[in-house]
Structure 1
């Protein structure tokens, strides 16, 4: 995805939140109403845009991929925005420390649920693969979703947050595509119910009363996204035309706006009029979405005419120059610190989770079984044993990596910095152990400090702890990367470079009744007819890279095609239009018993020569013997008088044959 979509998403959210808050203050709706209104206007609708791209046949366009990348990031940032708005709503004022605490709590749950989910769920799906069919997979997926929804509610977050997290976890499994297929009808059903329920909350009287604000908000969204959305995509490094098309595509609000509006109502911080106003704005902007997307092309052409040529060339060549430039050697300090921060954060989160769960569930059981102090000892031993693989990883991760070796060889100052990172991680692990000892032990705190340092040293050197730590990490990384490895096996490495040029790579599926099925690539001659090249043919689990002219394509094949937006759109349209016109059956098949009497024209002929199939359009299934069993028919069988022949054919054909 890269840093470009992140820049665009953050810029759009900030600008549109400012626009929404400004409109709210302009109409004197109060601080909290204006703040929540800004949050609603900041989120474009993934569902509506995706459907609009499909209906307009634009999903294969280059700008569509950029828009969908930004929408995914907006959904993630929307979860964070909901937490921030909830914190502000509860306190009724901006408390910096309270907000920081809420963000840390959110980060803790995000890391914990994601890491545990990525570790456990793919293992469960692999173990139960033979037992899971489509129906079971649907039930399991929805059940897992509801499980995390309940956990999110218990933790004080919204149901949407839990469902979003489980969707993110399932999306990283190799079963993601199968889950998407079986869940799609349920998604459509609940989507319809959701929008019906939203529509029922619309009060026509409120709409008439707030007609002017509704019109102003619609204009603010469409003009704001056209200006700030385009500017954000330009800042992220997109060419001018792509930026305009992307910005115009995002000029609507949808499901996330309703969720934020519902959040404000549930927290009793927004007025009742705001929800129907937002629903009306969403309906109107959704109606104008296709027109905004279509308008992007002529607007881009007009802007290109008035923009100076040197500025236009700068916009067009930025990505080219960046891709063509020789990549600079990576800074080993940056790589090392980035990896350490992410890994230490994940392992520390797991250690804290083990301690919290142990103190909440295990400690009462141990005290009830063994008494107070013996129970504390048992709970402490079990807690430290469970957390030891994570504590070891906090201290030892990346200590033997290539970056560590490079830095240690360069200078003495680097060695000091490396040992400083080691000491800080050792201190963090020791502080975690100290917390457990200080909570459970009655001894003086200096003894706890010394014991903590000693225990961490023991954890580092125990082979069993090392083996468990490495195995847990390898399993997690295998689960995390399994889908990417499967998707990228043999994926062309030049795809990202193509995206920076005027051409890009996309994947299309050959329709079931395609007229191209069974034909060779040299016969279809796509390069001359459509101006595209076939980079790969994917058939099931098999992949043919850079196929030759003798390669054939079949229904269901996924073909990776290289071309520009216009040629790819023409190619996709022609592929969907050119299909075999199979004759439709006018009646059902019948199975009849035909007895060969004296004088029948078939007597003495073989089935091959009888014309039953070629002339009468029927098929002989078999012949009945004396015991009533049916013997399969062969083409060389000679038809004799008295034979009982079983015939299959359409109604009219069988009737004609029987006569």
Structure 2
């Protein structure tokens, strides 16, 4: 068979394997990446042996990784890279050095290797993580903008840079120390010269080149020029002794600062996805199932050692740089695999005699399994952490790690707006509020944003906006409104839910990039959900309609209706099964469960609005499954509960227990014309230390204490023997006049004060 035709046949075979494997993974609701790896294993040399031209296929696969890193650079931008420069440069370098040191020490002590040189080589291999697999997994879960996504990306960039240094030093490992020093110095010099040249080229040449290509108004020419630029810079880095992937990433960073970045992404992404799939299939071809099976115990042991060992190195480093425990744990497991670039190092090491053929195959098998496990770990870790945070023994531990890292001394105490996220949108919101002299507090978890807030003199809280401690420090219970502009979908949901736990009547506006999250956020309690793309479309349509003569009042009325209907007129129609699947996936991240409504429950026949589940119990109702199998996703407030209903609830274990008490009739639903308000007990109140039975609010005022918020603890429907403490926040329900009388009674004279003391109390507004 002719060689060129053989290559075409191999490419068709690989693409077909990727398609079938991807479809199988999708059907099993797994990342498509796993399907690509499986397809490559089946058609590769160790499987059916259908692929013959391995070198040519692997060369094309390298183009796929190069384009993947190129588009990442375009999306990431130098501005984003600066946000994590500390953890990237300091943490990434420390991680590589510690991995090499620990691996060398352990391997030599256990007698696995015979010389320190072999230990250094093995440590270098283990220190590299998979840029391609991690990025692909983060992109599929829309987590590139999350704190753990940014941290992992920063460390991965440094690892890719270090690969060039490792390749330069590798041939000199068996030489005297002077030769190693010369190799290191030479590599560092080349890196410095390349960085200087890249800055100059990106500043003066790239913008002019892209403008020239854009003026042709030819998509083909623009794509051809951009790909040539990407691969050209990648080849330069290759000839300098570094990886082509690093060069492609640098090329993307150059374009990210130019006005044609979005256009570049639009043209390159389809080609990138095709060739990236080819890369993952080619990695799958390296997996030898027979060898894995024959050495299964050894390889599984090595996989556990690698995952646990790298986790124990990465997670403490991330914590050391001031990130939350949650971010550190996810990053630790997310970077626990051995990267695909380790194949290059391993092959070089075998050629230089640093490892035997047996060790080479063991490294390949271990690497392959860690790559396969990574998407599962990144998907599973947030769910495991959500579950762990509900365990009584661990709750306090997680709480301590979620404390604010810093805050401005002077902050508004009441009637202010809390803005979560000081990014592109959050910054504009703060500017507009301050232009109207409205008090504001900004929350952000990045050092760069906090520095900007300090410089501008804006009150801030440095920490995770989804933390109860951070929200309490921001005075969320005394705020008039809240805006959430956090890029991480899971953090957005948690921030919304926990803010409403502290202040159930709070006016919360949420910005989201995902249209599938709109109904979820409304159901969790948001007053308004803003979707960026839809809002841009509405503004463009407004301008065009006004230009052709439509009256402005009519346009505004129609747009307002679109917003009130949650953009349904603009959103593509989705099948009920797609909505149910997305809902199930989201509730896994939020600790969701199905609850069977008792057949004689007093809730049967009542509407969702009448039961007021969120205020009374803290849970959010996201779906109802009828006895006949019909499923109502994101049910309307006027939907009635029926016999045999199953309820999909999101909440904490104690909140689920309260729902069960309510559904069984052990707790009564408040009657109509009753309000619920929060009241804070002063620290020096004469009533502190008294039990609820002693206060006897139900008999004296017909007011019920439905919840107590005590620091990070939330007590729903407390017993009569529960004593109140200074600083407690009580959720009281009753007639408005009665609530006013209770406020005066509980806030009776503080020690040494003879007049009633005013306390913080919620507005008690009814939701529209």
Q: Give TM-score, length-normalised by structure 1.
A: 0.50
- Whose Rg is larger? 1
Q: Give TM-score, length-normalised by structure 2.
A: 0.43
Bigger relative contact order, structure 1 or 2 (CA pairs below 8 A, ≥6 apart): 1
